[in-house]
Amino acid sequence: MSAATTPDPENLGPGRPVLFRHGTVLTMDDSHTVLRDADVLVIGERVEAVGHNLSAPDDALVIDATGGIVMPGMIDTHRHLWQTAMRGYGADWTLTQYFVWYYLEWGKIFRPEDIHAGNLLSAIEALDAGVTTLVDWSHGLRTIDHADAALDALESVPGRHVFAYGNIQAAPWEWSASPDFRDFVTRRLHGKGDMLGFQLAFDVTGDPAFPEKAAFEAARDLGAPVTTHAGVWGATNDDGIRLMHEHGFMTPSTIYVHAATLTPDSYNRIAATGGSVSISTESEQSAGQGYPPSWRLRRHGIPASLSMDTSVWWSGDLFSAMRSTLSADRSREHLEAHARTETVTHCVLRAEDVVDWATRGGAKALGLDSVTGSLQPGRKADVILIKNDQNPAMFPLLNPYGHVVFQAQRADVHTVLVNGRVVKHDHHLVNIDLTPARQAVGDTVDYLMTTMGEEAWTTGMNPEVPKVTVHDNPYTYTDWSAAGSD
Ligand SMILES: [Zn+2]
């Protein structure tokens, strides 16, 4: 784009009213009201009005939303932002290789500045992709300096964040009890309002002695919800859920990440105590935590939200989360029907449902549904416009939910508001410079390559392909082989 189209930051300052004009508006209110050729007016931090032919204050920035979709900013309820410094490095990993690399071998060499670099890039990336609320599942916090660095990065980016404090290098019952940690919470997390929330992030191993009890008690003392990887094949299972339940630590604010390999008993306990599940479909499919559980959650009436988990594999946008989740759910339904020699004639899960999970579902999971996740007068103005007149896939716009899920991409995010502030406009980030993030991540990559050594770096990124015999010719009556006769 030419320099002439770059938005002038002077004209997009915080506090200026914004009017989206002539868009298709997905309100994501209780009735999922959809308005065609409609307007959304933002004044200050809040949505002032949603409707037709709204009049704008004289000083309003009027954005032509014709041909576009105006909807709430998306909400990611589980992302390890620090790992974005290693973007794409683990594309061919399994969960085992991820555990070995981060938990056992190399996570411990990350310095505070490396955590800062990943967080900075990831938080910026989220805004660019229309993700306005982001849970930083920050489990690389080996020291309080790491935690300060992680939070410094979040606070330098104008997104709405929830800081989920964690540390995979130490026992949760130890770090959550340390005076340093308590001091950090008091110093940096208390009283930050709805722009910076706080959770405790740790997993429950299923040890019958339930040593995690002390960490749950710490969370309760601090008034912080717990987010936990639960139902992860080979790592966490029904025992953890049962222990949490028996000790009274399953609450409506608890978020169960993945919840992919649990039995009906555990889903019943989650449903009965009102918690929600964060589905990371691309992660579950590729890393192997279990089959993405949306199909089971529906049957148990468990609320869902969506997440991207880690950009060491996947990009940090929820378009791919919505698309993969809907596809995985339908794939499961078809396969199960085929196993019964039946045919699915009607889809149960709809595009509208996964748009809900990516917006108001996330807000509900985080206890922020009176703040964000829908476009209604009085809600904070976390608003995105999906519009790209240069993209042939953006017309005709017939089924707006379907268009968001199966047609649109992150490059189609035209405008993003967080808390009423324009952070992206006309496809450009506003007052956000990528240069420091690029420099910081470059420094981190250089440091890691040097520290690990070239061989470890290369083999880490290129895990061996297991040696298996592939029978490309199971027919005994011919020697012909697709791979050739040798
Ligand atoms: Zn995770």
**How far does the centroid of ligand 1 lie from the alpha carbon of residue 79, in Å?**
6
- Residue with the two structure tokens 């449903």: 271
Structure tokens at 289: 């935590």
Q: Is the pLDDT of residue 195 over 60?
A: yes
| DSSP codes joined into one string, 194-260 | GGEEEEEE------TT-TTHHHHHHHHHHT--EEEEESBTTTB-HHHHHHHHHTT---TT-EEEE--
CB neighbour class for 233 (10 Å; exposed up to 12, middle 13-18, buried from 19): middle
| Average pLDDT score over the chain | 94
Residues by chain with Cβ below 5 Å of ion ligand 1: 309
Q: Where in the chain is the domain with CATH 2.30.40.10?
A: 3-71+378-429
Output the pLDDT for position 484: 59
**How far does the centroid of ligand 1 lie from the alpha carbon of residue 139, in Å?**
9
CA distance 370 to 365: 12
CA distance 160 to 138: 15
User: Cα dist. 459→90, 152, 465 in Å?
Assistant: 11, 33, 11
Q: Is the pLDDT of residue 6 over 90?
A: no
Q: Is the pLDDT of residue 7 over 80?
A: no
Range 257-285 burial, b when 16+ CB lie within 10 A, else e: bbbbbbeeebbebbbebebbbbbbbbbbb
User: Cα dist. 61→39, 57, 173, 242, 413 in Å?
Assistant: 13, 9, 50, 53, 18
User: Cα dist. 143→4, 146, 178 in Å?
Assistant: 46, 5, 11
**How far does the centroid of ligand 1 lie from the alpha carbon of residue 199, in Å?**
14
Output the pLDDT for position 12: 75
**How far does the centroid of ligand 1 lie from the alpha carbon of residue 216, in Å?**
19
**How far does the centroid of ligand 1 lie from the alpha carbon of residue 422, in Å?**
30
- Residue with the two structure tokens 């307007």: 39
CB 78 within 8 A of CB 307: yes
**How far does the centroid of ligand 1 lie from the alpha carbon of residue 135, in Å?**
11
- The dihedral built from the CA positions of residue 84, 85, 87 and 93, taken in this order, carries a sign that is negative
- What are the pLDDT digits (tens) for 333-386? 999 999 999 999 999 999 999 999 999 999 999 999 999 999 999 999 999 999
Structure tokens at 77: 């309820």
**How far does the centroid of ligand 1 lie from the alpha carbon of residue 80, in Å?**
6
**How far does the centroid of ligand 1 lie from the alpha carbon of residue 308, in Å?**
8
CB 359 within 8 A of CB 373: yes
For 439, residues 6+ apart whose C-beta sits below 8 A from its C-beta are none
DSSP designation for 127: H
Output the pLDDT for position 126: 98
CB neighbour class for 466 (10 Å; exposed up to 12, middle 13-18, buried from 19): exposed
**How far does the centroid of ligand 1 lie from the alpha carbon of residue 86, in Å?**
15
- What are the pLDDT digits (tens) for 125-165? 999 999 999 999 999 999 999 999 999 999 999 999 999 99
Output the pLDDT for position 466: 80
For domain 74-365, the question of CATH label 3.20.20.140 is answered with yes
DSSP designation for 341: T
**Fold of the domain spanning 3-71+378-429:** Urease, subunit C; domain 1 (2.30.40)
Phi and psi, residue 373, nearest 5°: 95, -10
**How far does the centroid of ligand 1 lie from the alpha carbon of residue 131, in Å?**
17
**How far does the centroid of ligand 1 lie from the alpha carbon of residue 281, in Å?**
11
CA distance 383 to 40: 9
**How far does the centroid of ligand 1 lie from the alpha carbon of residue 84, in Å?**
13
Output the pLDDT for position 8: 58
**How far does the centroid of ligand 1 lie from the alpha carbon of residue 418, in Å?**
25
| N-terminal to C-terminal alpha carbon distance within the chain | 54
**How far does the centroid of ligand 1 lie from the alpha carbon of residue 29, in Å?**
29
CA distance 316 to 32: 26
Q: Where in the chain is the domain with CATH 3.20.20.140?
A: 74-365
**How far does the centroid of ligand 1 lie from the alpha carbon of residue 163, in Å?**
14
Helices 264-273/238-246 angle, 10° precision: 40
**How far does the centroid of ligand 1 lie from the alpha carbon of residue 201, in Å?**
10
